[in-house]
């Protein structure tokens, strides 16, 4: 029989705790009765369940996510449920689509733990982009966002641009591969002048000359960006000049990727001028930009007085050996240069360039120059020996994979004609003449194809040696 306890009038949750302490075990066995007509001092009835509700408040959004998935008739992503309480969500390549994105966005509105969100390659499209943008209008905890490869398009650009006007907590935004055009850049160019991002990636889009004209002034005015990637676009002519002028007047950028754009010599002139004035930039890549030996002259003049650049990529531009010599000589003349790496990968190294390389390294002892192998002396070039040397500097390159890729019939043989195309696409460091000689050496038997059966289970350097022995033997015969 439970001991009778007289009714209590509770004025606050504090009174409940103090009363419980006084009554001890009696309270634990008895039920507290609160008269219906006894209001609290605040004018409402007190219920002990209020404290329980506060304790169980969901700060991760887990319950919201599960309910939204039910409502949208989609299966919850187990990875997301497991990681909602962590600081980083890595969900690239999950095939979420707009619906899956909506559920995640609603769940993250009030989430306080996730700081980095990666939803790259999830087919979000404009609709999914809208859900994420709306979420980021409310969420003030996420600082890193990756929506690359999601086909966001024009509508997605607008919603994200509008969001960036409001959100001041994001620090890094990656929007590579979203089919943004010149017109879409209007949604980013104005906000770029004022936003607080430190990293911004617009690579692999469809930004052309007009887009470059919009980006140039934005780059010049921005005072927060440290990293900007505009590679794999079509920024040319006046657009290229505008971007270079923006770099010239920028006071914060440290890392800028302009490769694969087609800046040409016009852009090279403007980049050269920018390098004369900009001492903040430490990393610059203008590879694959159709810059000729004429354009490299202006880049060389630019680095003569530069005191900040540590990496300079000019690979796969038709600058010739003499152009590369000018560039290296300019770095050597600069007593304040801090350059560490120069990439001239495709440039054929002749005696003059080799001498310039040696001289530059004597002055800049920590300098690393990425270039084609050089065969000293006047001996007839040996492509296999050159290839072995190149493989020594490119240890992750698998020769057998090149053969397999172009062996459509899986016959373990590739014709010389097809192999020529394969090696060119693989960017092996040879001109046409030496490439033909290399393929002849690999054949070794005077046939019209190269058999790579033994390469599959053999070290590639050892296989090359065997090919060379076979070739030299056939020549003697």
Q: pLDDT by residue (tens digit) across 39-80?
A: 444 443 434 344 444 446 678 899 999 999 999 999 999 999
198 contacts 225 by C-beta, under 8 angstroms: yes
- Measured CA to CA, the distance from residue 428 to residue 372 in angstroms comes to 9
User: Tokens 């920018």 sit at which residue?
Assistant: 274
292 CB neighbour count, 10 Å cutoff: 15
pTM of the model: 0.70
Could you tell me which residues come within 8 angstroms of residue 175 by beta carbon, excluding any fewer than 6 positions away?
A: 147, 148, 152, 160, 200, 201, 202, 205
- Measured CA to CA, the distance from residue 414 to residue 292 in angstroms comes to 34
Provide the angle, in degrees to the nearest 10, between the axes of the packed helices 264-277 and 293-303: 10
Select from 292, 300, 255, 291 the least CA-distant residue to 273: 300
Task: Label residue 454 by pLDDT band (50, 70, 90).
Answer: confident
Using a pLDDT cut of 70, give the percent of the chain over it.
Answer: 85
DSSP element (H, E) containing 415: strand 413-415
Question: What is the average pLDDT across 278-294?
Answer: 95
Q: What's the Cα-to-Cα distance from 77 to each of 40, 66, 81, 104, 291, rounded to whole Å?
A: 45, 10, 7, 9, 48
Could you tell me which residues come within 8 angstroms of residue 52 by beta carbon, excluding any fewer than 6 positions away?
A: none
DSSP element (H, E) containing 451: strand 449-451
- pLDDT (tens digit per residue) in 121-145: 999 999 999 999 999 999 999 999 9
Task: Label residue 268 by pLDDT band (50, 70, 90).
Answer: very high
- Measured CA to CA, the distance from residue 203 to residue 173 in angstroms comes to 12
């Amino acid at each position: 029989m439970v001991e009778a306890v007289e009714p209590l009038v509770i004025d606050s949750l504090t009174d409940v705790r103090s009363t419980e302490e006084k009554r001890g075990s009696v309270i634990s066995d008895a039920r507290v009765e609160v008269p219906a007509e006894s209001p609290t001092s605040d004018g409402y009835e007190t219920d002990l369940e209020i404290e329980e509700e506060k304790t169980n408040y969901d700060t991760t959004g887990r319950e919201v996510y599960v309910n939204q998935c039910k409502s949208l008739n989609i299966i919850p992503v187990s990875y997301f449920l497991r990681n909602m309480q962590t600081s980083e969500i890595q969900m690239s390549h999950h095939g979420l689509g707009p619906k899956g994105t909506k559920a995640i966005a609603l769940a993250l509105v009030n989430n306080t733990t996730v700081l980095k969100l990666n939803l790259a390659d999830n087919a979000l499209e404009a609709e999914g982009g809208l859900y994420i943008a709306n979420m980021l209008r409310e969420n003030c905890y996420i600082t890193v966002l990756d929506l690359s490869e999601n086909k966001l398009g024009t509508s997605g650009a607008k919603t994200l641009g509008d969001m960036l006007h409001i959100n001041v907590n994001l620090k890094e935004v990656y929007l590579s591969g979203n089919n943004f055009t010149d017109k879409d850049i209007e949604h980013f160019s104005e906000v770029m002048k004022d936003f607080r991002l430190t990293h911004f990636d617009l690579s692999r889009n469809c930004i052309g000359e007009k887009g470059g004209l919009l980006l140039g002034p934005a780059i010049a005015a921005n005072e927060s960006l440290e990293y900007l990637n505009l590679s794999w676009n079509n920024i040319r002519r006046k657009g290229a000049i505008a971007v270079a002028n923006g770099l010239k007047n920028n006071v914060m950028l440290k890392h800028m990727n302009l490769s694969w754009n087609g800046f040409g010599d016009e852009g090279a002139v403007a980049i050269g001028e920018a390098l004369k004035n900009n001492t903040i930039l430490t990393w610059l890549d203008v590879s694959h930009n159709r810059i000729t030996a004429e354009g490299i002259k202006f880049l060389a003049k630019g680095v003569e007085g530069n005191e900040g650049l540590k990496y300079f990529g000019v690979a796969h531009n038709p600058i010739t050996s003499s152009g590369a010599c000018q560039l290296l000589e300019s770095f050597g003349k600069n007593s304040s240069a801090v350059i560490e790496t120069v990439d001239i990968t495709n440039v054929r190294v002749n005696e003059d360039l080799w001498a310039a390389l040696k001289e530059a390294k004597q002055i800049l002892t920590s300098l690393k120059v990425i270039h084609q192998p050089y065969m000293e002396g006047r001996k007839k070039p040996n492509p296999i020996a050159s290839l072995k040397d190149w493989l020594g500097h490119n240890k992750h390159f698998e020769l057998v994979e090149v053969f397999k890729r172009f062996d459509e019939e899986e016959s373990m043989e590739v014709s010389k004609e097809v192999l020529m195309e394969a090696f060119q696409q693989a960017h092996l460091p040879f001109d046409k003449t030496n490439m033909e000689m290399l393929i002849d050496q690999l054949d070794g038997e005077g046939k019209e194809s190269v058999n790579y059966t033994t390469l599959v289970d053999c070290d590639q350097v050892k296989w090359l040696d065997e090919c060379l022995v076979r070739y030299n033997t056939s020549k003697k015969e």
